[in-house]
Structure 1
């Protein structure tokens, strides 16, 4: 997974791309973002087809443990995860899952059709904080 924080507070996450430094865990990169103690928005432009990688039960347990340790920071600093999905049917099909996602991660999962919509929504969420 690649986490690009070069446009902070807009954080681009790409699940199908390797990390910029293979020696650094995505968890460590995410912790560094949380340590800034500033609000930010996660963005993803890969659509909802995340590739063929199935997470092992150990990976899922590790993610769950990490999330539980950082739930408070996640709720405080991550305004939302915005996914860009041009396919209307896929966006609509994700509505029910987005409730489960928010309950697990502590921040909303929002769906938009275009990058322009994602950036506008991200700016709106961030300006609501000021």
Structure 2
């Protein structure tokens, strides 16, 4: 996983890009984003079917520990993660996972049908025009 902050405050998540440092390097990048002390959203533009990465037990354990360590900053600065999924049935099926995700990471998982909707929602979330919204 790589985080592309070139469009900050919208930060793209790129899973198919090589990452020389592995997941450890991704968390260092994430810490750098949190260190800015500015609100941002995470955006994953590929559909669920295009996500072909399974996390190992060690990766999940490291992520869990990292998340707990950075919980306060995550809640303060990450306004949401937006996932593009064109299939309405898949978006509905992920609704329970979205609630679990939000409780675990401290920011909501928002699902939309298209890249255009994702960018519009990102602008709305960052403009604080949307509060506690879940698009399905």
1:23-102 to structure 2, matched below 5 A, reads 23=21, 25-49=25-49, 50-51=51-52, 53-102=53-102
Q: Secondary structure at the match of 1:25?
A: helix
Point out where structure 1 has 5 or more consecutive residues left out of the alignment: none
**How far does the alpha carbon of each residue in 1:32-59 deviate from its partner, in whole angstroms, 9 at most, with x for none?**
00000000000001111321x3222111
Structure 2: how far apart are the matches of 1:108 and 1:76?
12
Number of paired residues? 126
Point out where structure 2 has 5 or more consecutive residues left out of the alignment: 130-136
Q: Secondary structure at the match of 2:43?
A: strand
TM-score, normalized by length of structure 2? 0.88
Aligned-pair CA distance for 1:124: 0.6
In the TM superposition, structure 1's runs of 4+ consecutive aligned residues that sit over 6 Å from their partners are: none
TM-score, normalized by length of structure 1? 0.92
Q: Secondary structure at the match of 1:120?
A: helix
Structure 1: how far apart are the matches of 2:95 and 2:78?
19
RMSD of Structure 2 on Structure 1 (CA): 1.3
1:1-16 to structure 2, matched below 5 A, reads 1-16=1-16
Structure 1: how far apart are the matches of 2:7 and 2:59?
28
